[in-house]
Structure 1
Amino acid sequence: MPTTKSAAKRLRQSIKKRLHNRIAKKIVKTSSRKALETAAEKNFEAAETQFRAAVAKIDKAGARGVLHKNTAARRKSKLARAYKAAVEKAKKS
């Protein structure tokens, strides 16, 4: 437990920030998953919208420091590759 008033305040602040960051990361993961699922369902217009929303959320998390900028870039790249593959697979079958 914190000893000083300033340490207690820092603990309160870090708890708040941790919760906020966890929520933001969960939103990024959920939106990415939804984009890929929609592409697999052959709903290409909705999939495009979901993909763009996921990329925007990743960008926002990277800009706010929830994710490191390189991590955000890597996740966008990975999502784009997976999205493209899912669309190609759905179009073939």
Structure 2
Amino acid sequence: MAVLMTKDKKEIIVTCNCGCKSSVNIQIDEMEDIGYAYLCFLKGNFYTEYNNNPWRAFRIKMKKIWHILRGKDYCYSDTIMTKEDFEEFKRYINQF
């Protein structure tokens, strides 16, 4: 597992230690009108869509490739949190 944090402590990436290259990216943004914190799950395992139907698996892979070619990470899901939601999330995580 790797924990990577930016110098300004507004973004942290936690990677999985099983070798699947999946990670969770937590980013703090001061733009209150959009959201305060963003939680994004990044999936690195390229072969897990083979259980889907072949056309759907092909479309998912092409979308991933397009994101990579454009220099972006492929994000499976985002969670946008308000400042209050993030504070509650932080309290919950700090219990462990």
Larger Rg computed on CA atoms: 1
TM-score (norm 2): 0.30
TM-score (norm 1): 0.31
Decide which structure has greater strand share. 2
Q: Relative contact order (alpha carbons < 8 A, sep ≥ 6): 1 or 2 greater? A: 1
Decide which structure has greater helix share. 1
